Amino acid sequence: MARRRQPEEPVNRERWLVSYADFITLLFAFFVVMYSISSVNEGKYKVISEALIGVFNDADRALQPIPVGDERPKTVTPAKPLVKDSEQIDAGIAQAASDPLKSIADDISAAFGDLISSSQMTVRGNELWVEIELNSSLLFGSGDAMPSDIAFNIIDKVAAILKPFDNPVHVEGFTDDRPIRTAQYPTNWELSSARSASIVRMLAMQGVNPGRLASVGYGEFQPVANNATAEGRARNRRVVLVVSRNLDIRRSLTGTGSANAKPDAALKRAGTQTAPTPIKSPGRESAVNSPSPALIR
């Protein structure tokens, strides 16, 4: 009996389409990855760039030898003063003529006239401190503390104005009462603190002495407007740079918040001291300013 022949399977001539589809899918994924790599956040790139420049351009630090035994003076001749008494008096009069707080307020007002006229920045102050208030939407995205490109331009100019002076500076962060619950910012406390710390870090990156700087976050608990309206919430989302006459004034202001502080008699007594002269690293220069009181308009 003859065997039954097995029917021949038809040849599948369309199998190349499977390989072609896989190739097209891989090619699409490759271009998506290349596009994502080429998209650079300019804010993050500038932060990394400034940090690397600061590391490689930092002045060399030499280790001082530890003295052993009694160190004898090289000479017993008293040092002669480099400046005569009459010259010191003249210098004191010249410094008293210019108040650093008024100079800072005038320079900020002149540099940011467009932002002030559009109510995105407010400059106010008195004989004890100056406040530079900025709307948070100008500096950060919603629910974020990463500075925008506009923030870098603004803080660069502010740092150039603050750098020649020795007055302490602290940055206050505020939010509205809308709750935030993210992994990075569980509450408005973390968000406001992170935003003020970002501004402090940018000021230090631009050459303002870090010993003068501090940051504080008040969250939603010091509003200046009613949170029931969108306009009020926008006013409450703010960052305030406070330039104090001296360290005692800054400590008093951070305890209460500049929005609630008033130049009362106790603060005026603390304001009679000059701004502390920070310890300067080699190659840095800063002017020593006297505390002549002057009202800031």
Whether 282 has a pLDDT exceeding 90, the answer reads no
Report the percentage of the chain scoring pLDDT > 90. Answer: 47
pLDDT at 114 over 70: yes
Kindly state whether residue 184 falls inside one of the protein's structural domains: yes
Give domain status of residue 31, yes or no. no
Residue 88: is its pLDDT beyond 80? no
- pLDDT tens, 198-239? 999 999 999 999 999 999 999 999 999 999 999 999 999 999
CA distances from 103 to 45, 106, 109, 112, 116 (A): 33, 5, 10, 14, 17
What residues pair up with 123 in beta bridges, in sequence order?
A: 132
Residues whose CB is less than 8 angstroms from the CB of residue 168 and which lie 6 or more positions away in sequence, other chains included: 212, 213, 214, 243, 244, 246, 247, 249, 250, 275, 276
Residue 252: alpha-carbon gap to chain centroid: 21
Residue with tokens 């009362």: 264
Whether 219 is in a domain gets the answer yes
On whether residue 186 sits in a domain, the answer given is yes
What confidence score (pLDDT) does residue 22 get?
Answer: 86
Q: Does the structure show a pLDDT above 50 at 289?
A: no
76 within some domain: no
Are the C-beta atoms of 274 and 291 separated by less than 8 Å? yes
- Provide the domain limits for residue 189: 100-257
Instruction: Judge whether 20 lies within some domain.
Output: no
Q: What is the pLDDT of residue 17?
A: 79
- The whole-number pLDDT of residue 160 equals 96
- The three-state DSSP-derived secondary structure of the chain is CCCCCCCCCCCCCCCHHHHHHHHHHHHHHHHHHHHHHHCCCHHHHHHHHHHHHHHHCCCCCCCCCCCCCCCCCCCCCCCCCCCCHHHHHHHHHHHHHCCHHHHHHHHHHHHCHHHHHCCCEEEEECCCEEEEEEEHHHHECCCCCCECHHHHHHHHHHHHHHCCCCCCEEEEEECCCCCCCCCCCCCHHHHHHHHHHHHHHHHHHCCCCHHHEEEEEEECCCCCCCCCCHHHHHHHCEEEEEEECCHHHHHHHHHHCCCCCCCCHHHHHHCCCCCCCCCCCCCCCCCCCCCCCCCCC
The domain tally of the chain equals 1
- The one-letter amino acid code at 185 reads Y
Band (pLDDT 50/70/90 cuts) for residue 161 is very high
* Amino acid 285: pLDDT: 41
Q: Which range has the worst mean pLDDT, 2-6, 29-33, 79-83, 160-164? A: 79-83
Q: Is residue 42 part of a domain?
A: no
User: What CATH number should be reported for the domain holding residue 202?
Assistant: 3.30.1330.60
Q: Reading across the β-sheet that carries 129-135, which strands appear in turn?
A: 121-125, 129-135, 238-244, 169-174, 213-219
Measured in degrees and rounded to the nearest 5, phi and psi for residue 160 equal: -65, -30
pLDDT at 257 (0 to 100): 76
Average pLDDT over residues 45-71: 62
In this prediction, residue 188 carries a pLDDT of: 95
**Higher pLDDT pick, 39 / 258:** 258
In a domain, 53, yes or no: no
- Residue 262 in this model has a pLDDT that exceeds 90: no
State residue 273's pLDDT score.
54
pLDDT at 20: 85
